[in-house]
Amino acid sequence: MAIKLAPSILAADFRHLEADCLAAIDAGIDWLHLDIMDGHFVPNISFGPLVVRALQSLREKHSIFLDCHLMIDNPDAYIEAFAKAGAQNVTVHVEATRHLHRTIELIKSHDMQAGVTLNPATPLSTLVEVLPLVDLVLIMSVNPGFGGQRYIPGSSDKIRRLRGMLDAVGSHAWLQVDGGIGPDNAAEVIAAGATVLVAGSAVFQADRPIADAVAAFHAVF
């Protein structure tokens, strides 16, 4: 499975969001990662379906994949809105929904891929029953809510264990990792079993052009 780079637009310059996204697309990224925060599930507020809708033209012109990570309470209430806005994958937290199986079915009923994620302190055992059902599993390698955090070292072992769990059930789901990812630790994360790397600051806030930041990742994989 080819490794995907999915820059988080949370780190982009929102005064020039389209220009930043275009620069990343032209540099050869695979997905755009959209971090949706409500100020309740995580201690930060970002944006909602309107920004997803605003990126629709990029999706249509450049075939870029819109990957939405919902760091919100009661995600079921907003899944239809994100589907209508053009999201292609919606990832929800196991900690934010009471009926995870039902939520996954709801996402898929809107013709989107379904992802599931968990916070650093949440054990992988909470995913066992849904692993055969999902299209993506996200390991948070920082506590969610803010960009620019350092990678939690123990995350690599958690990625390896999740890779083993996915392989054991014959799953072809993407194994995504988000938090503190840069060219310096990308090889470690990939070796542990990741197939999608989310990077925000390392792409959009690096001390170099976006194209050079993306090229640094591609040099690793």
**Cross-sheet strand order for the sheet of 4-7:** 4-7, 196-199, 174-178, 136-140, 113-118, 89-93, 65-71, 31-37
Residue pLDDT, tens place only, 139-153: 999 987 777 778 998
Confidence (pLDDT) at 144: 78
| Ranges under pLDDT 50 in the chain | none
Confidence (pLDDT) at 55: 96
Are 176 and 136 in contact by the 8 Å Cβ rule? The answer is yes
Distances (CA, A) of 60 to 56, 64, 66, 109, 218: 6, 8, 11, 22, 24
Q: Residue 209 — φ and ψ, nearest 5°?
A: -60, 150
What residues are labeled active site? 35, 178
Residue pLDDT, tens place only, 30-61: 999 999 999 999 999 999 999 999 999 999 99
Domains identified in the chain and CATH numbers:
4-218 (3.20.20.70)
Residue 179, classed as helix, strand or coil, is: coil
Are 7 and 33 in contact by the 8 Å Cβ rule? The answer is yes
